[in-house]
Structure 1
Amino acid sequence: MEGIMSDDATPDMTDGDGPAQVRAVGVADDAAEPAQPMPVQSTPYHRLATLRPEWARWWRPLTTAFAITAIWLILASLLMVGMVLVLTALGADRSIGQALDDPTSPLDVFVRSALGALLLPAGLLGVRLGGWRPTSLLWSVADRFRTAQMGRMLALAVVAVALATAMQTLLHGGRPALPESGRTIGVVLVLLLVAPLQAAGEELVLRGAVMQGVGTWVRGPAVPILATLPLSLIGAMHSLDTAFTAVFIALASGVLAWRTGGIEASIVLRTAVLLTAGVVGLLGMGAETTIWFGAMLAFLVLVNITGYTRRDSSVETVTVLGGDRGPFFPVMRSADAPVPPPVRV
């Protein structure tokens, strides 16, 4: 009996020659090694919604689109009602142009720009509620808004717009006719304050939500980029020039988002185009399509020459998705957090 027990019993953990101690040491050594980030396949910007299976459900883009549309319609209705109430309280003219196409009217310029700016909160809330994923991935593959790249792109945009404006001035010739000083100052202030928000909102929805949503269905970048064209043509079909410009902006912005790995460059491009076109319309110089096309073409050429489209275009590890979100943690859930269970109401 004693011999049998010596053959079958597990050796003492304190026995230096026992295999159990060898296994225990191996486990301790493994636990002592620092945790390595789990590598994933290089993921381009339009495929970021596929980093987790629950984000890439086939119906997620549909619920996201519904949520964004519903939220934007609610916000737009509140904006229009608020504008009417404010104008009534001030005793001002309550008529707002149906087309909102008077470039010399601060009210028309504000309403048109504000409607686009409302896409920013609508897109963030829609992706969070409809797509149930972090909104920070809408900005870039770095899981954040890259301010350093924004500065580089802004410098290139200033050069591009300056070149396009000089070209338009030479082609137009003559001295531009300025409206009255009050209207001019009002339009310029509205453009400076609201146009960047309008650009950010439109790019976050079109290049962020739409491209990443379609990117859950297809792998290549062509279809997600082309999917934004119909939405870009909304409100731009009253002339061939505006339709052509909207298509060109959509294609250029989509390529920039794909190549740079984020929407910083496309936001800068759209902001520059909106500001320049607003000033051109205010001065009555006409031919806005010429300056839009010139500014975008110059910007794209400069971006490709400097090589910025080859940087930070994909994400290599999932470590960028972790970390504390501070006060916005409930909205921007960490990617490695468990999926919240359904709640009955």
Structure 2
Amino acid sequence: MNDGAGNAYRSVAVVGAGVIGVSWTALFLGHGLRVTVNDPRPDVEDVVRAGLDEIAPTMRELGLPIAGAAARTEALRFEPRLAAAVAGADVVQENGPELLGVKQELWAVIEEAAPPHALLLSSSSGIPATAMAEHMREPERLLIGHSFNPPHLVPLVEIVPGRHTDPAVVERAGRFYRGLGKRPQVLTKEIPGFVANRLQAALFREAIYLVTEGVVTEQELDDIVTASIGMRWAAAGPFRTFHLGGGPGGLPAFFRHLGRALEEWWGQSGTPHLDGPTVALLNEQAQHFGGSVEELAAERDAAQIAVMRALGEIPGPAREEENERFR
């Protein structure tokens, strides 16, 4: 895979084989990259292969079949020693636990063992690159490449450079992710949780409040979101939506007519806590979504693929011309 700027990528080391790591593995295999998976758990190979089998139908729908690649030992390897796993990698995508000390230990080993040209990317959902790179000799090499779950399907990747990250590395990371059919967005400032998760957390806080207050059930709230703002935001984000909501006068008109009421609602927003009774209520209602986690995930993936296909976001046949540049 070539990014169009002279950088060739043939092998990726995936560090950490949880849900995110398996999803990245599927995407990399689908684009013809060799993948080495590193994880200390003894059953890692069984876990990863089972996860890939589960993802395979979705990848096929995306035009990125992985069944053959996952079965070939030259395409997918497992290496329990971290230094050995990253030694020949062109890219390292780290997906370790969200603990700063653990991240710093991982990157100390990776920096020493990975080739000088390797892209060093962390999937962290909230820990800044500056903090992770604090003990690195070359902190300019590290940045965040945070996907939205699951990364094999959702287009967004938040690229968040640290205070010392080389701008050239940021550019390389953007080209690499675009070559995978992703939609990278560079953040110009580090902030805990980055952008997408902060927005999600704000909405989820109010969702929990509405459920615990008995206004709606979890299923009813989900139905409201998917039939209104979820559908709307798939086509236009919140700012453009309210710009259009102001009519010919745009966002200025919206603020004149509705800004004060919106600000009053902010003051009335709920502040729930994830205490025992709240978590028990939420967990109990989650048992009534009408299927197992596997069944619901398949249903979600099919619906997301339909939306992406309608919006031209499919990173396969719908972007064949663009992907051709990276082969």
Normalised-by-shorter TM-score class: under 0.3
Structure 2 length-normalised TM: 0.22
Query: Larger relative CO (CA 8 A, sep 6+): 1 or 2?
Result: 1
Structure number with higher strand proportion? 2
TM-score if structure 1 supplies the norm length? Answer: 0.21
Structure with bigger gyration radius: 1
Structure with greater proportional helix content: 1
